[in-house]
Amino acid sequence: MSLLASFTVIGGPSSEQLARKIASKLRSRYVGCELKIFPDGESKITLKAKITGKIIVVHSVYPPIDSNLVRALALISQARKYSSQVYAVIPYLGYARQDREFLPREVVTMSLVAKLIKAAGATRIVVVDIHSMMALKHFEIPARNVTAIGELVRYFKNLHLKNPLVVSPDMGGVERARNFANLLGTSYIALEKHRDRKSGEVEIKSSKHQEVRNRDLILVDDMISTGGSIVKAAEHLKRQRCGKIYATCTHALLIGDAEKRIRKAGVTKIVGTNTIPSKLGMVDVSSAIVRAIV
């Protein structure tokens, strides 16, 4: 048996297709599970086969965040009963934005989540484009963040855009935009954004950007949740007489009517990855995850 084949990959309810792709690339055994949700909201998970060897649990913690977190912990705990090596692959890790105390008396929930994942039995964790590297510092087990930027860039190279320009909707995403632009072979800019910590309202403070005129733009972010930042950025850029606007991210959460609002703001296409399974999760990140594992 090869080193890769010694893995057993468990596909959690939130990441079944991604887990299958990871197992295929690792040439490893795949084990699915059945999920039953009781009337009171409790989740009951049953594995479809026995598990052996080093175990990889693949389960994203996206909305419903709390339910998916408990399901991930349950799978990790079950895996640890059969193996001393349990890799928790959590492509989208909920609560990563609560990694520090932004306002007085705020609970740093990410610290608790890290403790729960370790207590459940994970011996290491792999995430994809986590919102802040500060979140990984809460883990007391080996933690690896991988990026989907390379996979996203390959997708956009096939679109043959008109003199593309990469745009970060805020200054915090400058490094992401720079890396994206370098791989795409073009330039980038970053907008100046202000978000009210209490109301959540977003305002673009940047002045005019002459360099966007008649160019196709790629708005790049790690996640799109309610779409507020992308909407404000798109409206601002449209006033600068740019070409088409594309929005791309690793985690396309798109809560509520976010997709409709983003398209109404002038965005031609929204491109996400399969860390969140949906019609917009068209870019596969399994190869990036496998590289982090082996």
193 is an active site residue? yes
- What single letter denotes the amino acid at residue 34? E
Assign 15 to helix, strand or coil: coil
Phi, psi dihedrals of residue 84, rounded to the nearest 5°: -90, -5
What are the residue ranges in the chain where pLDDT is below 50? 1-2
Residues 10 and 132: their CA atoms lie apart, in Å, by 27
Q: What is the pLDDT of residue 1?
A: 39
Q: Is the pTM of the predicted complex or chain greater than 0.85?
A: yes
pLDDT tens profile 113-134: 999 999 999 999 999 999 989 9
Residues 18 and 34: their CA atoms lie apart, in Å, by 16
DSSP string, 33-78: EEEEE-TTS-EEEEESS---SEEEEE--B-SSHHHHHHHHHHHHHH
The 3 state secondary structure assigned to 68-103 is HHHHHHHHHHHHHCCCCCEEEEECCECCCCCCCCCC
In Å, how far are 31, 53, 60, 220, 285 from 151, measured between CA atoms? 26, 30, 19, 13, 7
- What lies within 8 Å, CB to CB, of 158 at 6+ separation is none
In Å, how far are 174, 178, 195, 211, 225 from 186, measured between CA atoms? 14, 9, 28, 12, 27
Assign 141 to helix, strand or coil: coil
Assign 6 to helix, strand or coil: helix
Catalytic residue among 25, 54, 118, 193: 193
| Other CB atoms within 10 A of residue 68 CB | 22
Q: What angle do CA 286, 72, 1 make, to 5 degrees?
A: 50
Q: What is the pLDDT of residue 6?
A: 84
Go through the domains of the chain in sequence order and give each one's CATH number.
4-147+285-293 (3.40.50.2020), 149-271 (3.40.50.2020)
DSSP H or E segment with residue 217: strand 217-224
Q: What is the pLDDT of residue 142?
A: 97
